[in-house]
Structure 1
Amino acid sequence: MMMNDVVKKISDLSDFLADFSRLLSSDCIRNLARTRTSDFTRNRNMNFFKMILYFIFRCRKTTNEELGNFYSSICQPDMRISKQALFKAAGKLNPNVLTFAIREFASRFYRSSLPVKLFDRYHVIAEDGSYNEIPYAAINIFDFHFPESKKVRSPGDVNVVHSQASGLYDVMNGFFLNYTLKRADYSEIPLAFKHLYESREYFRDSPVIYLADRYYGSAEIISFLEHMGYFYVIRGKKNFYKKEIASMRSDDEWISVNVDKTWRKRFRFSPESMEEREATPLMRIRVVKRKVTYIDSRGEEKCETTLLFTNLPEEEASSDLVAYLYTLRWNIESSYKNCKEILELERFFSADGDMARCSILGKIIFHNICGIISSQMNAFLDEMGKESVRIGKKENRHAYKINLSQLQKTLRDNGLLGAVFSRKRKRIEEIIMSTFLIIHKIKVPIRPNRHFKRWGRVLTTPPGYRFRIDGRNHPKVKRFKGCLMTTAP
């Protein structure tokens, strides 16, 4: 990649982030940011724009430390407010404005001049759900509710408050297109339909591949994906379409499922799915079987058959390619891990439920900003790797990717918050350029196999501290035949 291409890419990134910053300070956002009509009507020190940026860039351990860092970053240390004033301003912010900002971030990215990474010619998106922990408070128990179980029958039995979260993720470009928080007993399936409905504005007539785990392989979702013209690769549950799968004679075969009137009555979330199946009751699914070997809880090797449902034709995708596409879904899992462990998504400064929502959604926006910068830098590293192979450099035998946690820290340390606050494209460009210049210090090699076996190892002594020398968590351990063996989390 020539230097001119790098400068052009940085310029496009700067234009995009400056445009997004102007959106966050616009009158449209001001109106959406209000919880009450009287909120943010005066031009106070901590206005709605500063409050949004505070939630996006929050990264310190204490509120006092955070306030000092925030006002220093925007070059207004003399205007620092008290904690009480912060809580009063934060209570005015409507969490829906951050949900809107996440969707608008995605919409503007696809309309911008930034190069959009595709898999061949496809947009690849992944859906997955998670639980986000919420501060424990009586009002939050009733606000976010709780899923009943054998141990939890009433609000008095609740020890941890959770929110059901679900996100739609662009796995090639590294950001959430949508992120929704609901009460803990809310199902992931209607959230998936909500995200799919809203995704239509992003892709229009572009080909899309939708990735999802086992809970999303229902006839209603598959019918809706067919209606939208999306391709899909979904891991199948063993009890889905058992009769049809049992009649398969090979490991890669199309099955036909008759979705009759009784079955269609169970469709609850999409009238389009109902219309699709009424028009063509016979639903055709390509089923790819893959054998997976793993070590069970007793330390014994097991072999299991994994089912993958897809509608990709054989001439477009072989069974190996279908299996590889499904592995790309792991990117959304990695993003959840990054948000929870590195960005500390579940660390709050108030027990208020709306402030907790704002804290979570703000961290998602920061993850998105770093995600697109990381994606562009990874493309640069890929080009560098190809050029080094052409000129025969032995030291670049491995592919390299950006270390996302180090990138996030570098952008903070270089003053990205102040640049976004100023809404000056030139200042943003300088920060991204300085980050590009240290790209070799925040890259890691991508090897075909793991260089360190994290679980399934026998330990002579249990770890006496939480982290290894390299900063990683020690894996969990269990007793196995008189020894300690590391286990997967």
Structure 2
Amino acid sequence: MSFPLKVKSTLWAIVDSMSFNLSPFVKRPGKDFSRERKFGFVRMIRFCISMQSGCMNHELLKYFYFNPDEVPTASAFIQQRAKLLPEAFLYLLSQFNQRFPTKLFMGKYSLIAADGCEFNIARNPDDPSTFHPSNGKSKRGFNMIHTISLFDLISKRYLDIVVQPGRRKNEFAALCQLIDRYSYGGFPILVADRGFSCYNVFAHALETGFYFVIRAKDINTKRLLVAASLPDRLDQWTDVILTRSNSKKKRAHPELAAMYRYICKAVPFDFITDNQPEYHMRLRVVRFKIAEGIYENIITNLPDNEFHTEHLKDIYYLRWGIETAYRDLKHTLGTTNFHSKSPKYIEYEILCRMILYNFCTIITMEVPIKKQTGKWEYQVNLSMAIKICVAFLRDEAAPGNVNGLISQYILPIRPDRTYARQLRFQVPTSFAYRFV
């Protein structure tokens, strides 16, 4: 059996095994998907994962091979989809990842990036949790949902996700939730941008056995070190004792006054309780120069005898992989072309696209690239590889041709090429005017 066929068989085998115990995955156990219909549980999951960017009726026609006697109506699909819980897709995402072990950084560590991403959805002013009034981006206002994901930077796979309404997003809480339910084991290193630098995130990582490399703003680093200014180069450990009381009389260790940091009650911190009024934390603060007059601050707990400053630079540089993964998820896989207005069902679609993305990258990572002579090393053209893998999943490409087709489309690796980030407001795609 070829490797692509093994990956495909494994994915569908997990779906089949889920159908034997539907209780964790449906709203009404014992009733939902208990009758024989065109859209049973297995066919529903398969269709959701392999669905592309076309309008709903066109997607149904393609999936049922344009057979008028077999094609269900869009209404039938919507009614059956309403019986599912998001746990069905989260379980499938996790199980599928665990069947194919991820690659390790330095032979030991899992390098995991966390970042947020926004998705514009169909306009609905009656939903205050997602509707943003008119502003400089949109004259009519727009609806948006926010996601926080964990992404394996070495194996290029999505591991988990939390979806939040755009107006009620809380990135700190979402990341803490993702850290707490991480189930892949090993020695994970969490890599995150400066928007995730806070004591609560550090504490959740320390309590669950995570290492972390998190960028911090100058002002946050100064507060942590109680310093008026920061040197150009820094690498030191610092101990802090967190408390919600400013009373010096209540301190358990008054002789360590310089280590105490006050956290007001309005700031979430989950490890200070009545029984444990103080929380001790040991952090490593690293500061280095990246360009003339530009410096970066890194908060980490990685041991300094194994991870020097240059190692931390390399680790944080790899974080950009989650940014390019979001680009491929949204545009190459067409995740922005939703088939629903409801944020609940849009969450289903995002999860399905992540499973599909992982299916494509698991296959692509094993495709051998013939070494080219010349200036550059080469890599797979992921955009073309995804199209080939999706066609294979939908039985539109022969199994024996997958690796060969992917290896024909390669691109040179240019590690020093950079582009300025372009921020543009994008309206959601119309439900009707699509052709895929």
Task: With the length of structure 1 as denominator, give the TM-score of the two structures.
Answer: 0.72
- For residue 116 of structure 1, the aligned residue among 99, 103, 120 is 103
Return the match for 1:219 from 179, 182, 199: 199
SS at structure 1 position matched to 2:218: coil
Deviation at 1:77, TM superposition (A): 7.2
Match of residue 254, structure 1, among 236, 243, 266: 236
Aligned partners of 2:105 and 2:312: how far apart in 1? 16
From 190, 198, 201, the equivalent of 2:173 is: 190
Q: Distance in 1 between matches of 2:232 and 2:87?
A: 49
The answer to whether the Cα contact below 8 Å between 1:259 and 1:277 also exists between their aligned partners in 2 is: no
How far does the alpha carbon of each residue in 1:275-304 deviate from its partner, in whole angstroms, 9 at most, with x for none?
A: 99946x3533231222336xxxxxxxxx42
- State which of 426, 436, 442 in structure 1 corresponds to 2:409: 442
User: How do 1:58-97 residues align onto structure 2 when only pairs under 5 Å count?
Assistant: 58-72=51-65, 78-97=69-88
Residue 145 of structure 1, CA deviation: 4.1
Q: Matched residue of 1:234: which SS?
A: strand
Matches within 5 A, 1:392-471: 394-395=373-374, 397-413=375-391, 415-418=392-395, 431=399, 433-450=400-417
- Aligned residue number for residue 160 of structure 2: 178
The aligned counterpart of 1:271 is 271
Tell me if the contact between 2:176 and 2:200 (Cα under 8 Å) persists in the aligned partners.
no
Secondary structure of the residue that 1:86 maps to in structure 2?
helix
Deviations 1:44-73 (A, max 9, x none): 11112222222211114222321222123x
Residue type of the partner of 2:108? Answer: R
Are residues 398 and 259 of structure 1, via their aligned partners in 2, closer, same or farther at CA, if it must alter by over 3 Å? same
The gaps in structure 2 that reach 5 residues or longer are: 245-261, 425-436
Relative to structure 1, the CA distance from residue 36 to residue 292 in structure 2 (aligned partners, 3 Å threshold; closer, same or farther) is: farther
Of the candidates 28, 38, 49, which is equivalent to residue 45 of structure 1? 38
Preserved contact between residue 51 and residue 93 of structure 1 (Cα < 8 Å): no
> For 1:336 and 1:304, how far apart are their aligned partners in 2?
27
Per mean C-alpha deviation after superposition, the further-off stretch among 314-323 and 84-93 is 84-93
Aligned length: 399
CA contact (8 A) 2:163 2:347 kept: yes
Paired with 1:211 and 1:178, the residues of 2 have a C-alpha distance of: 15
Deviation at 1:410, TM superposition (A): 0.8
Whether 1:126 and 2:113 are equivalent positions in the alignment is yes
CA apart distance, 1:253? 1.4
Match of 2:74, as an amino acid?
Answer: K
Q: Which residue of 2 aligns with 1:350?
A: 340
Q: Displacement, 1:168?
A: 0.7
Give CA deviations for 1:364-392 in whole Å, capped at 9, x if unaligned: 11112112222223xx33xx54xxxxxxx
1:371 to 361, 365, 376: 361
Query: How far has the Cα of 1:80 moved from its partner?
Result: 1.6
SS across alignment from 1:93: coil
Work out the percentage of aligned pairs sharing the same amino acid. Answer: 21
CA shift at 1:196, angstroms? 0.8
- Partners of 1:274 and 1:178 in 2: CA distance: 32
2:211 match: 231
Q: In 1, Cα distance between the equivalents of 2:407 and 2:38?
A: 40
Deviations along 1:324-379, whole A, 9 cap, x unmatched? 110111111111111112222121223234332222221111112112222223xx
Q: 1:177 to 1:364 in 2, by over 3 A?
A: same
Letter of the 1:133 counterpart: N
Note closer, same or farther for the CA distance 1:274–1:319 as it changes in structure 2 (3 Å cut).
Answer: farther
Partner of 1:329: 319
Superposed CA offset, 1:447-468 (max 9, x none): 2333xx7559xxxxxxxxxxxx
State the Cα distance separating 1:85 from its structure 2 match.
2.5
* 1:312-323 matches, cutoff 5 A: 312-323=302-313
Tell me if 1:202 matches 2:193.
no
1:99-110 superposed matches below 5 A: 99-110=90-101
Structure-2 residue corresponding to 1:137: 124
Cα distance, 1:136 vs. partner?
Answer: 2.1
Return closer, same or farther for 1:195/1:454 CA change in 2, 3 Å cut-off. Answer: closer
- Mapped to 1, the partners of 2:33 and 2:202 lie a distance apart of 44
The one-letter code of the counterpart of 2:205 is L
CA distance in 2, matches of 1:355, 1:343: 17
Q: 2 CA distance for matches of 1:246 and 1:137?
A: 48
Query: Bigger shift: 343-352 or 45-54?
Result: 343-352
Q: Distance in 2 between matches of 1:358 and 1:92?
A: 12
Hey, what's the Cα distance between the residues in 2 that align with 1:336 and 1:163?
15
Match of 1:57 among 39, 50, 65: 50
User: Normalising by the residue count of structure 2, what TM-score does the alignment of the two structures yield?
Assistant: 0.80
Q: Residue 349 and residue 313 in structure 1: after superposition, are their counterparts in 2 closer, same or farther (change >3 A)?
A: closer
Amino acid across the alignment from 1:97: A
The residue identity in structure 1 corresponding to 2:311 is L
Secondary structure at 2:290 match in 1: strand
Q: Please give the secondary structure, in 2, of the residue aligned with 1:167.
A: strand
CA change 1:283–1:162 in 2 (3 A) is same
| 2:19 alignment counterpart | 27
Aligned in 2, Cα 1:286/1:350: closer, same or farther, shift over 3 Å? closer
SS at match of 2:416: coil
Q: 1:312 deviation in Å?
A: 2.4
**1:32: Cα distance to partner?**
3.8
Distance 1:207 1:319 in 2: 20
Query: What is the CA-CA distance between 1:129 and the residue it aligns to?
Result: 1.2
Q: CA deviation at 1:270?
A: 3.5
Asked if the contact 1:252/1:286 (under 8 Å) is kept, the reply is yes
